């Protein structure tokens, strides 16, 4: 019976090594074909990209040139203030006896606002009146002395005539004359004392009247800084007791105009402004004054400008912040071009088909960045402004002369530009 040999369930190490060597050999023979296939696929992709690049055409966003109204404005911000604001104080020191008004009260000229304690002032008036009475009595006494001296001198003159000049003696006559002059001088001094006493009395009465603090204008009370019983000390300056505003139906908006814009702003120009308290509402104003004195804040130079404001409904209040738009220029029927059109300049060779660049397969596989981010500016000859008009799908340069601008559109004052022409404002890139 012959022996039948069976293979083992797992190959031995020699067989495994043969199989591994065989598989490596097959891979080494096939890898050049794999690389060749990848190169062919890359070439086909590059060829496709080249075709698309050559057939691409530029696209643009346009806006037409229009005829309309050009309004140039200057922006400024400031605060509302009354046309006439008065701080009312007291010239006298003392204790406040009564306060007659409160904030927001309407007052008239001469109306009593507050009153100090009058007791000491009344005593001073009474004392001055007594001094005046004394001075007047002294005048009467002095006048009596004058009359007596005159009578004595007259009697001496009569005796001298009757005696033929023998009596009275010369010394007695001289004494009588001196007594008369002395009496007349005393009478004049007494009369001057009366005038002085009257002046003192008038001063005390004036102080008494000033103890009542009164309104100097017709207006409204904006602020009150005094209470009954408070002591007022007016030693160096008059303390402010009330702040009054005259006629709030007429106010002024005090704004700061930037130095770059102040050359356009003049008195008489119209403006509008708004306040946060009334969103969406615009108020009319007129420039009343443009200051010559400069103000500096954080390195910025500005000039104070005052705008007159009507406030008939009293909706505006002092201190409100107003954002004003001052109209410095108005042009009717002006040819207008958007500012974006004046800034636009097409890329180099704009409007022509894009050609493939050199560099071989690697350049096609890794194309360069788009040229739109590095467009070359093409100013007109001599630096004159120009716009680009879209004609037959291609941009055409048109030289223009520009005028005023409001930051969005610019007035075209000369050149070949006509209303309705499509002005290129932006390049949108190519479309396959």
Residues 6+ away with beta carbon under 8 Å from 107:
101, 113, 215, 218, 219, 220, 221, 244
Say if 303 falls within a structural domain.
Answer: yes
**Cα distance between residue 183 and residue 327, in whole Å:** 82
Query: In angstroms, rounded to a whole number, what is the distance separating the alpha carbons of residues 295 and 259?
Result: 10
DSSP letters, 295-319, are EEETTEEEEEEEEEEE-TT----TT
| 221, part of any domain | yes
> Which one of 197, 223, 240 terminates a domain?
240
What is the pLDDT averaged over residues 153-158?
92
Looking at residue 356, what is its pLDDT?
Answer: 42
pLDDT digits 0-9 by tens, 29-85: 566 666 777 777 777 765 565 545 544 557 889 999 999 999 999 999 999 999 999
Do the domain assignments include residue 174? yes
Two tokens at 419? 């209303």
3-state DSSP assignment of residue 429: strand
pLDDT score at 132: 95
Q: Which residues of 110-140 are buried (b: 16+ CB within 10 A; e: fewer)?
A: eeebbbbeeeebeebbeebeebbeebbebbe
Contact predicate 254/222, CB 8 Å: no
What average pLDDT does range 245-259 have in this prediction? 93
Q: What angle do CA 381, 347, 396 make, to 5 degrees?
A: 55
Q: Do residue 215 and residue 98 come from a single domain?
A: yes
Same-domain pairing of 109 and 162: yes
- pLDDT at site 373: 34
191 and 283, same domain (yes or no) = no
4, with CB counted inside 10 A (0-12, 13-18, 19+), is: exposed
Q: Are residues 272 and 226 in the same domain?
A: no
Q: In what order do the strands lie in the sheet with 106-107?
A: 85-89, 240-245, 219-224, 106-107
**Range of the structural domain that residue 290 is part of:** 73-83+249-332
Same domain flag for 261 and 232 = no
Is 161 inside a domain boundary?
Answer: yes
Query: What pLDDT is recorded for position 48?
Result: 60
**What's the pLDDT score for residue 25?**
52
Task: Answer whether residue 115 shows pLDDT above 50.
Answer: yes
Name the band, by pLDDT with cuts 50, 70 and 90, for residue 238: confident
Give the model confidence (pLDDT) of 262-308 as tens digits.
999 999 999 999 999 999 999 999 999 999 999 998 999 999 999 99
Residues 176 and 198 in one domain: yes
| Cα(2)–Cα(6) distance, integer angstroms | 13
Supply the DSSP string of 217-272, one letter for each residue.
SSEEEEEE---TT-EE--SSSPPEEEEEES-TTEEEEEEEEETTTGGG--TT-EEE
Tell me, yes or no, whether 272 and 311 share the same domain: yes
Check residues 51 and 329 and name the one with the higher pLDDT. 329
Q: Is residue 168 part of a domain?
A: yes
User: Taking 70 as the threshold, does the pLDDT of residue 346 lie above it?
Assistant: yes
Domain shared by 281 and 179, yes or no: no
In the numeric block, the tokens 């704009």 are attached to 350
Residue 23, exposed/middle/buried by CB under 10 A (0-12, 13-18, 19+)?
exposed
Assess whether pLDDT exceeds 90 at residue 378: no
Tokens coding 344: 């636009």
In this prediction, residue 365 carries a pLDDT of: 44
Give the single-character DSSP code of 69.
E
Same domain? For 228 and 300 the reply is no
Does residue 189 fall inside a structural domain? yes
Contacts of 45 (CB under 8 A, 6+ apart): 364, 365
Distance CA 241, CA 93 (A): 12
> Does the pLDDT at position 375 exceed 50?
no
**Which pair of tokens denotes residue 165?**
């000049």
Which position has the higher pLDDT, 198 or 361? Answer: 198
The string of pLDDT tens digits covering residues 175-224 is 999 999 999 999 999 999 999 999 999 999 999 999 999 999 999 999 99
**Contact 50/356 with Cβ under 8 angstroms?**
yes
pTM assigned to the model: 0.62
Which stretch of 104-108, 138-142, 393-397 has the lowest confidence by average pLDDT?
Answer: 393-397
pLDDT value for 164: 85
Q: What is the pLDDT of residue 350?
A: 42
DSSP structural state of residue 187: H
Percent over 70 (pLDDT), the chain: 79
Q: Would residue 396 count as lying in a domain?
A: no
Q: How large is the average pLDDT for residues 256-260?
A: 94
Looking at residue 32, what is its pLDDT?
A: 66
The answer on 290 and 228 residing in a single domain is no
* Average pLDDT of span 113-134: 94
Q: Which of 332, 356, 377 is the last residue of a domain?
A: 332
| 361 has a pLDDT exceeding 60 | no
Average pLDDT on 423-430 reads 82
Strand, coil or helix: 421: coil
> Is the pLDDT assigned to residue 14 strictly greater than 70?
no
pLDDT over 90, % of the chain? 64
Sign of the alpha-carbon torsion through 74, 80, 84, 89: negative
Residue pointed to by tokens 């003696």: 169
211 and 255 belong to one structural domain: no
Q: Is 422 among the domain residues?
A: no
| Statement to judge: residues 232 and 254 lie in one domain | no
How many domains does the chain divide into?
2
Do 341 and 61 touch, CB atoms closer than 8 A? Answer: no
How is residue 166 written in tokens? 């023998």
Domain boundary among 332, 356, 373: 332
Q: How far apart are the first and last CA of the chain?
A: 84
User: Residue 152: which pLDDT band, with cuts at 50, 70 and 90?
Assistant: very high
For residue 303, give the CATH number of its domain.
2.40.30.170
Would you state the pLDDT for residue 266?
Answer: 94
pLDDT band at 354 (very low <50, low <70, confident <90, very high): very low
- Measured CA to CA, the distance from residue 284 to residue 240 in angstroms comes to 34
Question: What is the DSSP secondary-structure string of 266-284?
Answer: -TT-EEEEEETTSTT--EE
Q: What is the Cα–Cα distance from 413 to 334, expressed in whole angstroms?
A: 8
């Amino acid at each position: 019976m012959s022996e039948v040999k069976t293979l083992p369930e797992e190959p031995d190490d020699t067989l495994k090594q043969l199989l591994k060597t065989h598989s490596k050999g097959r891979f080494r023979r096939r890898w050049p074909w794999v690389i060749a296939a990848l190169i062919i696929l890359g070439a086909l992709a590059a060829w496709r990209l080249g075709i698309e690049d050559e057939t691409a055409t530029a696209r643009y966003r346009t806006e037409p040139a229009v005829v309309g109204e050009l309004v140039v404005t200057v922006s400024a911000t400031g605060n509302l203030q009354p046309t006439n604001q008065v701080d009312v104080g007291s010239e006298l020191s003392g204790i406040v006896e009564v306060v007659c008004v409160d904030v927001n009260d309407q007052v008239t000229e001469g109306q009593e606002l507050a009153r100090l304690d009058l007791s000491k002032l009344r005593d001073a008036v009474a004392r001055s009146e007594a001094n005046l009475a004394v001075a007047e009595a002294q005048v009467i006494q002095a006048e009596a002395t004058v009359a007596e001296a005159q009578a004595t001198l007259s009697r001496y003159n009569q005796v001298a005539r009757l005696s033929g000049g023998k009596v009275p003696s010369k010394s007695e006559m001289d004494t009588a004359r001196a007594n008369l002059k002395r009496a007349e001088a005393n009478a004049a001094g007494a009369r001057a004392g009366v005038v002085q006493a009257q002046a003192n009395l008038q001063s005390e009465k004036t102080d008494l009247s000033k103890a009542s603090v009164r309104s100097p204008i017709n207006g409204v009370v904006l602020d009150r800084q005094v209470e009954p019983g408070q002591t007022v000390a007016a030693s160096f300056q008059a303390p402010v007791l009330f702040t009054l505003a005259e006629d709030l139906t007429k106010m002024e908006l005090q704004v700061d105009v930037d130095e770059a814009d102040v050359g356009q702003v003049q008195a008489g120009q119209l403006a509008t402004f708004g306040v946060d308290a009334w969103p969406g509402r615009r108020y009319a104003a007129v420039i009343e004054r443009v200051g010559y004195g400069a103000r500096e804040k954080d390195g910025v130079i500005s000039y104070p400008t005052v705008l007159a404001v009507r406030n008939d409904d009293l909706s505006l209040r002092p201190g409100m912040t107003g954002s004003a738009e001052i109209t410095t220029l108005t042009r009717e029927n002006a040819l207008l071009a958007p500012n974006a059109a004046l800034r636009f300049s097409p890329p180099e060779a704009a409007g022509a088909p894009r050609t493939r660049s050199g560099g071989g397969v690697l350049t096609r596989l890794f194309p360069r960045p788009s040229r739109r981010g590095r467009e070359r500016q093409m100013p007109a000859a001599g630096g004159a402004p120009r716009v680009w008009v879209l004609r037959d799908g291609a941009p055409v340069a048109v030289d223009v002369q520009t005028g005023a601008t409001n930051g969005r559109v610019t007035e075209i004052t000369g050149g070949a530009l006509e209303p309705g022409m499509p002005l290129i404002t932006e390049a949108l890139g190519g479309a396959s």
